[in-house]
């Protein structure tokens, strides 16, 4: 196999693997995450992959890519049927992943259980020996968010007893009003937190 062909195959597999992890992504997100260079280069690569039926794309406010069955087979993806209702949520999570400097060990929707309690953060990662839990505030009610923060407070105690640090709860939200309400709840309940906004 010629070198150029091999490099192309490796790059395509890298893009497929990142999409397997992200579920949905825009060209801009794939461009940053996979270091695809300038806009024209990224568009050319993704258009070719779409033509070769490795990717599928749907038009929302922007073109949004996801794995095709052929793409899944190439990388051995176990990704199930996709839910179009999750597009905005997935794109927001990708934006935050990039904003946070693309943490190395980024686990999407991995369940955390203790005692009779259970939480499924939108993402979890460890940085500087500290657990970080990510919540994407897209369409949830503030009552639901407040209940989650209370559960994170309980989880924080468990993690402190076991690992001697308080985890950081990271919110990504869509409006200034929601940011203020989340800040208020986190401070009242007493969890370590950071809030990012798509505002």
Largest Cα span, the chain: 61
For residue 23, the SS3 value is coil
Do 130 and 63 fall within a single domain?
no
Which residues on adjacent β-strands are paired with residue 199? none
Cα dihedral: 54, 59, 64, 70 (round 10): -20
Do 110 and 78 fall within a single domain?
no
Segments in the chain forming alpha helices (H):
3-22, 27-33, 39-51, 69-75, 87-99, 142-163, 176-189
pTM comes to 0.92
Sheet holding 123-127, edge to edge: 106-108, 123-127, 130-137, 168-173, 192-197
Do 117 and 184 fall within a single domain?
yes
**DSSP for 99-136?**
HTT--SSEEES--EEETTEEE--SEEEEETTEEEEEEE
Q: Which pLDDT value is given to residue 1?
A: 61
CA distance 156 to 133: 10
Please check whether residue 45 is in contact with residue 38, taking contact to mean a CB–CB distance below 8 angstroms: no
Q: Which pLDDT value is given to residue 46?
A: 97
25 within a domain of the structure (yes/no):
yes
60 within a domain of the structure (yes/no):
yes
- pLDDT tens string 84-127: 889 999 999 999 999 999 998 899 999 999 989 999 999 999 99
For residue 129, what are the domain limits?
A: 106-197
Looking at 82, 97, 114, the residue that finishes a domain is 82
121 within a domain of the structure (yes/no):
yes
193 within a domain of the structure (yes/no):
yes
161 within a domain of the structure (yes/no):
yes
100 within a domain of the structure (yes/no):
no
Q: Which pLDDT value is given to residue 129?
A: 93
Q: Which pLDDT value is given to residue 139?
A: 80
- Give the chain's length: 199
Do 117 and 74 fall within a single domain?
no
Do 135 and 53 fall within a single domain?
no
> Number of folded domains in the chain?
2
Going by their DSSP bridges, the two strands 123-127 and 168-173 should be labelled as: unpaired
Within 10 Å of residue 190's Cβ, how many Cβ atoms?
Answer: 12
Do 71 and 112 fall within a single domain?
no
CA distance 23 to 184: 32
CA distance 86 to 24: 9
Q: Which pLDDT value is given to residue 28?
A: 97
At which residue do the structure tokens 């150029």 appear? 4
Which residues on adjacent β-strands are paired with residue 113? 118
Do 187 and 112 fall within a single domain?
yes
Regions of the chain short of the pLDDT cut 50: none
Within 10 Å of residue 99's Cβ, how many Cβ atoms?
Answer: 12
Do 50 and 128 fall within a single domain?
no
């Amino acid at each position: 196999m010629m070198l150029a062909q091999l490099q192309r195959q490796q790059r395509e597999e890298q893009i497929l693997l990142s999409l397997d992890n992200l579920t949905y992504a825009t060209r801009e997100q794939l461009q940053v995450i996979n270091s695809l260079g300038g806009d024209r280069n990224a568009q050319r690569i993704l258009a070719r992959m779409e033509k070769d039926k490795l990717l599928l794309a749907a038009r929302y406010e922007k073109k949004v890519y996801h794995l095709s069955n052929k793409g899944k087979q190439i990388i051995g993806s176990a990704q199930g049927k996709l839910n179009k209702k999750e597009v905005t949520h997935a794109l927001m999570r990708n934006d935050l992943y990039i904003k946070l400097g693309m943490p190395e060990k980024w686990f999407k929707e991995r369940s955390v259980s203790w005692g009779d309690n259970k939480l499924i953060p939108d993402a979890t990662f460890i940085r500087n020996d500290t657990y970080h839990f990510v919540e994407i505030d897209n369409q949830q009610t503030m009552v639901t968010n407040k209940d989650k923060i209370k559960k994170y407070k309980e989880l924080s105690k468990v993690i402190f007893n076991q690992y001697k640090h308080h985890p950081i709860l990271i919110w990504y939200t869509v409006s200034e009003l929601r940011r203020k309400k989340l800040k208020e709840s986190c401070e009242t309940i007493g969890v370590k937190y950071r809030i990012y906004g798509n505002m």
